[in-house]
Amino acid sequence: MAIQTVATTPIPGQRPGTSGLRKKVAVFRQQHYLENFVQSVFDTLGDLAGKTLVLGGDGRFHNRAAVHTILRMAAANNVARVLVGRGGLLSTPAVSCVIRKHEALGGIILSASHNPGGPDGDFGIKYNIANGGPAPEGVTDAIYQRTTTIGQYRISDDPDIDIDRIGRGYMEQMQIEVIDPVEDYAGMMEELFDFGAIRALFAGGFRMCFDAMSAISGPYAQAILEGRLGAPAGTVINAVPLEDFGGHHPDPNPVNAAQLIELMAGPDAPDFGAASDGDADRNMIVGRDFAVTPSDSLAILAANAQVAPGYRGGIAGIARSMPTSRAADRVAEALGVKLYETPTGWKYFGNLLDAGLITLCGEESYGTGSNHIREKDGVWAVLFWLNLLAATGKGVQEIVTEHWARFGRNYYSRHDYEAIDAHAAQVLMDDLRVKLSNLAGQELNNYTVDFADDFSYTDPVDASQSAQQGIRIVMTDGSRIVYRLSGTGTEGATLRIYLERYEADPSQHNIPTQQALAALIAIADSVASIAYNTGRSNPTVIT
């Protein structure tokens, strides 16, 4: 069998966004599209002799074909060994776990996360480095630069190997090891959490519903919850990963996980509900008729971390993305640890975790995680909550309201305007930037603007800088409005508006969220002239 060198030309637009390269499946199926990007990754990595890579994806449409192409290219590029999940499947957190455990050079994840799948849906590819986390900007920029000059790629014409059976095989000189996608990950969870206490909880009749949204968290949740923890069969719903996620949007928020929200509001609601996204790195936590905001979830896990064996030693620090609510800031203060505010995107947590500056981190976009791996982790967050429920004997709502009573409540919401005209979105952001300097001191709807700026970040570990990471208007009482354009969308532009208001008084903790934020919502609208600029009078999704 032979290694082919195939001539190609650069394909425009292969710049990775917030989380890897994401495009419509039809784009990825264009001739040379995947190959150009993968070869650019390999060229950026340099000499691959003797190196191990991890490969897997969330099982969406095109996953299997892409796995075979990448294996043939890896073999042609001198990679020594590839660990691939059975069936080409690995959740994003599992890839991170396997890279670390097996000391691989890095890994390739095939996923478009929470974006819809299927032939008309989205596909994505992302490279993770040796720490198990998404490649930092320096690496993704180098990959992108390579895509703009690429002239050829290398691929083996060896026959495809059977990826549906655990075991070892060879392609050219490269060893391919097909691994159980769940094993390493489940073992790690067992070390972090008190499985005995959670098992006892289920044995006592505690009921939960985990909505895997027909995505990759299904096999993990089933093996861990129903397998190792003894939860009754059927605890995990929509457990079988489907190539098109059953036509649904695999994004765990109250809008997209409507089936779970309805169940949790019903007369026979289980004690605890949870959902995860397409690649199993996001999580949503729900009590009986009560959804927990991701920002609160991060704060609550941080405040109670000692219930879990893996965190008994205390936490070194907490990080949150800038638009995430400041609920965690108050916990950090109470614990006497530092709080880091980073740009949106998990990659910014990597250095802080590697340097041991933080133990827990999270984003408002249903992402929570810790130093156990270098990705956010949906099933981990659910297990952490289970551990907390088991240790305290309290319900979800009770835990949250007690937390608010102690720390105050950060009312929080995100309004998304999806698929708006990309040019109009740019104009809106540019106009806002012009307005920024005049906002401080202005009275708006009974709020006074303390300061307004375009968030920029200097990484405390390597001093790398990231500018234009979101426009924020901060009021004198700490309330905030943040505007950002999404870096993961594949259609037009998505404008995200994040709204936050702090309320210390427990008698004011039961106002419906949109009502509590109404004055800020009105300010956000008028300052950015949203209706005028986008032609939309209402957001597409409110979470």
Strand partners, 370: 360
Q: How far is the CB of 278 from Zn ion (least distance, A)?
A: 6
Beta strand segments in 11-150, E:
21-24, 52-57, 81-89, 106-110, 122-128
Which residues touch 215 (CB under 8 Å, ≥6 apart)?
A: 58, 59, 238, 241, 242, 245, 250, 276, 277, 278, 279, 280
Site string for Zn ion, 431-470 (x = CB under 5 A): ----------------------------------------
Residue pair 542/514 in contact (Cβ under 8 Å)? The answer is yes
466 has catalytic annotation: no
Q: How far is the CB of 324 from ligand G1P (least distance, A)?
A: 8
Q: How far is the CB of 99 from Zn ion (least distance, A)?
A: 17
Closest to Zn ion by CB, 189 or 452: 189
Q: How far is the CB of 250 from Zn ion (least distance, A)?
A: 8
Report 260-289 residues binding Zn ion (CB under 5 A): 277, 279, 281-282
Q: How far is the CB of 112 from Zn ion (least distance, A)?
A: 9
Closest to ligand G1P by CB, 241 or 250: 250
Residues near ligand G1P, by CB under 6 A: 18-19, 113, 321, 344-346, 363, 365, 367, 486-489, 496
Look at residue 277 and give the partner it binds from Zn ion, ligand G1P, none, a contact being a CB closer than 5 to 8 Å depending on partner kind: Zn ion
Closest to ligand G1P by CB, 193 or 340: 340
What is the distance, to the nearest Å, from the Cα of residue 277 to the centroid of all Cα atoms in its chain? Answer: 8
**What are the tokens at 421?**
């005209």
Look at residue 459 and give the partner it binds from Zn ion, ligand G1P, none, a contact being a CB closer than 5 to 8 Å depending on partner kind: none
Look at residue 487 and give the partner it binds from ligand G1P, Zn ion, none, a contact being a CB closer than 5 to 8 Å depending on partner kind: ligand G1P
Residue among 267, 301, 290, 506 nearest 387 (CA): 301
Q: How far is the CB of 228 from ligand G1P (least distance, A)?
A: 27
Look at residue 345 and give the partner it binds from ligand G1P, Zn ion, none, a contact being a CB closer than 5 to 8 Å depending on partner kind: ligand G1P
The yes or no reply on residue 113 touching Zn ion (CB under 5 A) is yes
Report 503-532 residues binding Zn ion (CB under 5 A): none
C-alpha–C-alpha distance, residues 77 and 34, integer Å? 15
User: Which window, 107-115, 186-194, 298-306, 528-536, contacts Zn ion (CB under 5 A)?
Assistant: 107-115
C-alpha–C-alpha distance, residues 17 and 113, integer Å? 13
Per annotation, catalytic residue among 19, 91, 113, 276? 113
- For 167-186, give one letter per residue: b (16+ CB within 10 A) or e: eeeebbebebebbebbebbb
Q: How far is the CB of 123 from ligand G1P (least distance, A)?
A: 15
C-alpha–C-alpha distance, residues 48 and 69, integer Å? 17
C-alpha–C-alpha distance, residues 80 and 93, integer Å? 23
Single-letter amino acid code for the residue at 335: L
Closest to ligand G1P by CB, 63 or 488: 488
Residue pair 86/162 in contact (Cβ under 8 Å)? The answer is no
SS (H, E, C) 326-381: CHHHHHHHHHCCEEEEECCCHHHHHHHHHCCCCCEEEECCCEEEECCCCCCCHHHH
Look at residue 19 and give the partner it binds from ligand G1P, Zn ion, none, a contact being a CB closer than 5 to 8 Å depending on partner kind: ligand G1P
Look at residue 279 and give the partner it binds from Zn ion, ligand G1P, none, a contact being a CB closer than 5 to 8 Å depending on partner kind: Zn ion
Beta strand segments in 62-207, E:
81-89, 106-110, 122-128, 152-156, 167-171, 174-179
Size of the site for Zn ion (CB under 5 A): 5
Backbone torsion region of residue 434, taken as left when φ is above 0, otherwise alpha when ψ lies between -120 and 50, otherwise beta: alpha
Site string for Zn ion, 221-260 (x = CB under 5 A): ----------------------------------------
Strand partners, 484: 496
Instruction: Give the footprint of Zn ion on this chain (CB under 5 A).
Output: 113, 277, 279, 281-282
Active site residues: 113
